[in-house]
Amino acid sequence: MFKAGEAARRHARPIILDPVGQAPRHSGPPPRGKLLAELAPAIVRGNASEIRALAYDERSTRGVDSAHQAEDAAKAADELSTRYGSVVVDERRGWT
């Protein structure tokens, strides 16, 4: 994933991150903070649970079956946007 991000930057292409049920794990993909910091996605797209998982390193998400309401993720989206400079889009609500 990081190699793809480097290639996108070299070719001046924006990165769109859609985490699809990616809750933080002890093994497997890199920590979300590292992923966001190094890839610097232009857009982060997800449901309320995915957005909260990225912002707060939460461990419970149900992917496409969001465990949270969109309103629950609004603050998390603001924090992600401020921290990483990304536009954050709730796939069900469309806000940024």
pLDDT, one tens digit per residue, over 43-71 is: 999 888 888 888 887 665 455 545 556 56
**Percent above pLDDT 70 for the chain:** 68
Cα–Cα distance measured from residue 41 to residue 35, given in angstroms and rounded to the nearest whole number: 9
Domain ranges within the chain, ordered by starting residue:
2-90
d(CA 96, CA 82): 11
Query: What does pTM read for this prediction?
Result: 0.73
Top pLDDT among 89 and 26 is at 89
92 touches 50 (CB < 8 A): no
Cβ-based burial of 25 (10 A; exposed 0-12, middle 13-18, buried ≥19): exposed
- Written as six digits, the tokens of 22 are 């990616």
